Structure formats: C-alpha cells, structure tokens
C-alpha cells in the first residue's frame, strides 16, 4: 500500500511537465486490453468498453436502466408466440457508408447465432433461431418458443455491417453506427476513437477518446492523480476519498468460483459445500472492499433481477463444518487447482488468493494459477482446461435470470461445469414461460437446486467504483456501460 502511495506522489510531482489534455479530449484507463474489437465474438469487458461507443443495438437503456428504443424505431411487437417484429429507424449508415437496414439486422442476427461462429455471447441469445426481412425497415426475429425477454436481449446484440464484417481484418478495424468512429489500435498501448460527424443522434460533447490499457490498479490511480487519465475503472475502495471524484453504485458484477461438478475432488457435493463454508464472505466484503460490496445471497442474481429467490441465502462461514465434510468425503488434504486472472476486475487476484487462503485453512492444498486475460478466457470457455475451480466475475446486463442461468447454471452453457439434466430442464422451461408467476416459481426451484448442489462458491455483489478527474462530468450507469456520449468536460 505504501508503495502505491509513493507512486501516486512521484507521478503527481511530474504533473507540471505532463502533456496537457485538450478540452474536448479525454483518456480512459482500462484494466485490460480488448482481446478483439469484433463486438459479437467474445465475452470481454475491455472490448465492450470500447465498442459500446462504436456500435449500437436495436434496443438501449437509459442511465437508470429503463429499456427504450435504440436503432429500432419503436419497441418490438409480438406477432405470434415465436415472432417479434421490429421497425427500424430510417436514414442511418455505418461509418463506412453501408446502410443500416433490415439486411444489416438479419446479417447481424444470423452471424451471431451461427453455431460455426462460436460466439461466447450466445447465452444472451440462446432462444433466437432466425431473422427475416419484411421490407427495408422491418425485420422479424424468430425464437424457438415464447421468449418474454426478447426486447431485453436486443439491448445487447450489436449491429454489424454485412460487407465489412466479412473482412478478415474486421476484428481490428471496427465499423458501427455509433457516435464514435474507430481511428487506431496501437497494440499493447491504446485504442483511439473520434466523433462520427454523420451520427444520426445527438452530437456528443467530447470529440476524442483514448483508451489506455493499465492492468495495475496503483498505476491507474497514479495516472488519475497526475492528470494523465480522466476516468479509471476498478478504483481501489481505500482510495475513494483521495481521488478528485469517485463514482460508485451497486453494480451487476458477481464474483463467483465455478466448481467442476463432474470430475476431480469437487465432483463430491460434500467437497463443494465445504468450499462454500470455508470462505468468510463478510470479511471479504469489509476487508477487501471496505463495504463497497454485499454478500451474495447464494445465487448469481441481484435482488433487482427477475428470478431472484428470497428462499435461499449465503452459506454461513463455518470452517469446522467444512473440515468435517472434507473428512467425510475423503478429501482432507486434497489439491484444488484454482484458475484466475489479474487486472480485469476489481481486486480479482486478491479475491482468488483470499479464497485460496480460506481453503488452505481447512486443510486443502489450493494451487492458484493466474493467467493473462486472453488465455484466461480461453480456459473459462473451454471446460476441459478449467481445472477444479475457476474464478469469474459475472455481470447480467439483461437483469433477468435467463442470462446467468443459461451461461453458468445450465449443462452445456458457456460457463457451466455440471451435467445436471433436472436443473437444465427447469431453466429451459422458465425461458419460454410467459406466465410471470409460473416463471418466477421455476427460477426459485432452479436457485434452490443449484444451491443444494453447491455448483459454485457464491461470494459477493460488488459496487462499480470509478475514479474521475476534476474536469470530467459523468453520472455513471446501472449497467456499467461507459458511454462517452453521456460525458462532458467542465
């Protein structure tokens, strides 16, 4: 900690010789470099931070989370049980001049849901089976059954240009319809965006934004204090009172440990329960996050999400019971491989190491492996290389249980480590249930089953904490998107 403070002081002392930031230009420091700038292929927060300003979606959300029309001219209409019709805004173009129309929407949908494309985002769109053009400004989206949250899904699917998205260099030269255009990606250093002069919506105040990639939280802090950065992500809680401005709000992020329920020592449910009982979640919330976090309630959902169950709570901190369960399962002294990453999420490495410490305290031998983010993602989405346990911070921008459950709970999901057919059946039934009360009941049952089987170690629901320069005005958003068009410089 003292080392970080020294860095802050040293860099702050150099502020007088630092290059000044122009009035209509800002710099944002991210914890990780995007693994790609293709907006449909990976589940990568660094990519989203940049591309949320380049690409747009049919539906969007206001800063308070309210769903509203984006590229769509109005909210989608349900034509029949499996068909939603979407009217599009007229006269919009992609940055390269390609028209945004029904053909672009159909292409975007088909591209993302194509099994051969292997999108890591597929859990957002698992009900969508097809898209059809009605006319130039009308599209029908076909689902595999009733899908009550289809409009919310369309808030997450970015629209891509049919022509340029087939270019082999598309992943490094993004082209969208958004308020900012891609300028340059200097690998390992930064991505630069500038305003789109032909943007169809309100003109943004900030003309240029540079994204810097700074994995070390102390270095991000030092850069903010020195005037090098205007906005930094994952501000350490202990520095919220020391920065020019701090913005924090209960976010969508839930750090969890996914446990392998099909092999190794964690195949035994008693071991999985012991791993939950061994961790002092309250100490994590107060010690690591200084209160800027809440204990997760035994589920990968926030109380504001549809499907949240009030019938379960967190596993208690009970190391003695954990030891007894491990002994009963014949797993005392077992080696547990734990995979994580560093710099992508607030205190990610510290959480992994703290959890490993709790497991070691009950007699296990945790083997912690921290990977660079791209390799970490490869392991997260390849079940064969996840080890016994893998740390992830899951966010659910749909604010509906289907996203979390389809990705992490359901057998075969992109982040799932179980083959529980009964649980998968509950999730499939809930997805297509249009009766709100029945749907809530199904999710309640699914939450209980996953809790009883301890498929995860549920940890916290953390607040989003940003460090902000004196010159930048930005209220933040409940969905954690950093939309530069909503920012202003004073």
Q: Is there a single domain that holds both residue 372 and residue 342?
A: yes
- CA atoms within 13 A of residue 318's CA, in its CB half-sphere: 11
pLDDT of residue 2: 42
Q: Is there a single domain that holds both residue 286 and residue 193?
A: no
pLDDT classification of 22: cutoffs 50, 70, 90 = low
- Helix H or strand E segment including 42: none
Cα–Cα dist 347/344, whole Å: 9
Q: Is there a single domain that holds both residue 148 and residue 203?
A: no
The 8 Å CB, 24+ separation contacts for 360-364 are 361/278, 361/319, 362/274, 362/278, 362/319, 362/322, 362/323, 362/326, 363/323, 363/326, 363/332, 363/333, 364/278, 364/326, 364/331, 364/332, 364/333, 364/334, 364/335, 364/336
Cα–Cα dist 82/250, whole Å: 35
CATH number for the domain spanning 184: value is 3.40.190.10
Q: Is there a single domain that holds both residue 269 and residue 387?
A: yes
pLDDT classification of 304: cutoffs 50, 70, 90 = confident
Helix (H, G, I), strand (E, B) or coil at 469: coil
Sheet strands (E) in 107-166: 128-135, 138-143
* Last residue within a domain, chosen from 140, 166, 192: 166
Whether the predicted pLDDT of 228 surpasses 90: yes
Whether the predicted pLDDT of 18 surpasses 90: no
Q: Kindly report the backbone phi and psi dihedral angles of residue 20, in degrees, each rounded to the nearest multiple of 5, phi listed first.
A: -65, 145
133-170 pLDDT, tens digit each: 999 999 999 999 999 999 999 999 999 999 999 999 99
Residue 480 is assigned to a structural domain of this protein: yes
| Structure-model confidence comparison of residues 395 and 298, the more confident one | 298
pLDDT of residue 11: 39
Q: Is there a single domain that holds both residue 206 and residue 280?
A: no
| Structure-model confidence comparison of residues 38 and 252, the more confident one | 38
pLDDT of residue 65: 83
Q: Cβ distance 42 to 35 under 8 Å?
A: yes
Which residue has 């959890």 as its token pair?
355
Cα–Cα dist 99/245, whole Å: 41
pLDDT of residue 4: 42
Taking every pair of Cα atoms in the chain, the longest distance, rounded to a whole number of angstroms, is 68
User: What single string gives the DSSP state of each residue in 170-191?
Assistant: GGGS---SSSEEEEEEETTTEE
317-348 pLDDT, tens digit each: 999 999 999 999 999 999 999 999 998 898 99
Whether the predicted pLDDT of 232 surpasses 50: yes
pLDDT of residue 369: 97
46-58 pLDDT, tens digit each: 999 999 999 999 9
Domain with 269, as residue range(s), is 253-463
Q: Is there a single domain that holds both residue 96 and residue 75?
A: yes
Q: Cβ distance 200 to 44 under 8 Å?
A: no
Q: Cβ distance 25 to 209 under 8 Å?
A: yes
| Whole-number Cα distances in Å, 82 to 57, 106, 131, 221, 460 | 21, 16, 11, 49, 37
127-137 pLDDT, tens digit each: 999 999 999 99
Looking at the structure of the chain, the number of domains it has is 3
Q: Is there a single domain that holds both residue 89 and residue 142?
A: yes
- CA atoms within 13 A of residue 315's CA, in its CB half-sphere: 27
Q: Is there a single domain that holds both residue 162 and residue 67?
A: yes
**Rounded average pLDDT over 61-89:** 95
pLDDT of residue 23: 66
Instruction: Tally Cβ neighbours within 10 Å of residue 69.
Output: 18
pLDDT classification of 486: cutoffs 50, 70, 90 = very high
Cα–Cα dist 338/389, whole Å: 5
pLDDT of residue 311: 94
165, two tokens:
């998205």
DSSP state letter for 71 = S
CATH number for the domain spanning 138: value is 3.90.76.10
% of the chain residues with pLDDT over 90:
86
Q: Is there a single domain that holds both residue 357 and residue 459?
A: yes
| Pick from 59, 25, 54, 58: nearest CA to 37 | 54
CATH number for the domain spanning 373: value is 3.10.105.10
Residue 434 is assigned to a structural domain of this protein: yes
Residue 40 is assigned to a structural domain of this protein: no
pLDDT of residue 343: 87
Q: Is there a single domain that holds both residue 319 and residue 411?
A: yes
pLDDT classification of 64: cutoffs 50, 70, 90 = confident
DSSP state letter for 114 = -
| Pick from 131, 191, 157: nearest CA to 56 | 157
pLDDT classification of 8: cutoffs 50, 70, 90 = very low
Whether the predicted pLDDT of 12 surpasses 50: no
Q: What is the mean pLDDT of the chain?
A: 93
258: Cβ–Cβ under 8 A, 6 or more apart, which residues?
386, 389, 390, 391, 392, 408, 415, 416, 417, 455, 456
Q: Is there a single domain that holds both residue 368 and residue 479?
A: no
Q: Is there a single domain that holds both residue 215 and residue 333?
A: no
**Rounded average pLDDT over 401-430:** 95
Look up the pTM and report it.
Answer: 0.79
User: What single string gives the DSSP state of each residue in 285-296?
Assistant: IIIITTTSEEE-
Whether the predicted pLDDT of 9 surpasses 70: no
């Amino acid at each position: 900690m003292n080392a970080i403070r020294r860095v802050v002081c040293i860099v702050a002392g150099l502020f007088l010789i630092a290059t000044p930031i122009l009035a209509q230009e800002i710099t944002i420091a991210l914890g990780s470099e995007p693994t790609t700038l293709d907006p449909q292929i990976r589940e990568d927060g660094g990519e989203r931070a940049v591309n949320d300003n380049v690409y747009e979606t049919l539906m969007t959300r206001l800063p308070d989370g309210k769903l509203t029309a984006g590229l769509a001219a109005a909210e989608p209409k349900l034509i029949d049980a499996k068909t939603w019709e979407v009217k599009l805004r007229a006269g919009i173009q992609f940055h390269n001049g390609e028209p945004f129309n029904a053909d672009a929407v159909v292409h975007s949908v088909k591209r993302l849901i194509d099994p051969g494309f292997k999108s890591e985002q597929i859990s957002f769109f698992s009900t969508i089976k097809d898209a059809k053009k009605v006319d130039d400004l009308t599209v029908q989206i076909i689902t595999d059954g009733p899908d009550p949250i289809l409009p919310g899904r369309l808030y997450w699917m970015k629209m891509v240009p049919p022509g340029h998205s087939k270019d082999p260099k598309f992943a490094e030269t993004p082209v969208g319809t958004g308020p900012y255009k891609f300028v340059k990606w200097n690998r390992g250093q930064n991505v630069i965006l500038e305003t789109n002069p032909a943007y169809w919506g309100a003109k943004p105040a900030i003309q240029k934004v540079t994204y810097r990639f700074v994995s070390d939280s102390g270095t991000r802090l030092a850069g903010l204090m020195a005037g090098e950065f205007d906005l930094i992500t994952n501000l350490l809680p202990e520095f919220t009172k020391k920065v020019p401005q701090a913005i924090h709000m209960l976010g969508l992020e839930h750090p969890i440990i996914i446990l392998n329920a099909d092999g190794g020592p964690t195949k035994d449910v008693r071991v999985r329960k012991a791993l939950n009982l061994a961790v002092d979640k309250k100490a994590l919330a107060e010690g690591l996050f200084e209160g800027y976090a809440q204990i997760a309630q035994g589920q990968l959902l926030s109380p504001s999400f549809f499907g949240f169950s009030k019938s379960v709570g967190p596993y208690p901190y009970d190391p003695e019971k954990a030891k007894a369960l491990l002994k009963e399962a014949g797993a005392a002294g077992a080696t547990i491989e734990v995979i994580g990453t560093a710099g992508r999420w607030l205190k990610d490495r510290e959480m992994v190491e703290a959890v490993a410490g709790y497991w070691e305290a009950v007699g296990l031998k945790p083997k912690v492996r921290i990977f660079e983010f791209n390799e970490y993602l490869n392991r997260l989405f390849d079940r064969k290389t996840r080890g016994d346990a893998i740390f992830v911070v899951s966010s659910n921008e749909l604010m509906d249980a289907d996203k979390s459950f389809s990705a992490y709970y359901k057998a075969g999901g992109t982040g799932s480590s179980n083959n529980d057919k009964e649980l998968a059946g509950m999730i499939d039934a809930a997805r297509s249930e249009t009766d709100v009360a029945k749907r809530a009941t199904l999710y309640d049952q699914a939450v209980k089953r996953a809790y009883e089987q301890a498929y995860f170690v549920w940890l916290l629901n953390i607040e989003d904490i940003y460090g902000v320069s004196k010159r930048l005005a930005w209220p933040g958003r409940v969905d954690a998107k950093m939309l530069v068009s909503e920012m202003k410089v004073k």
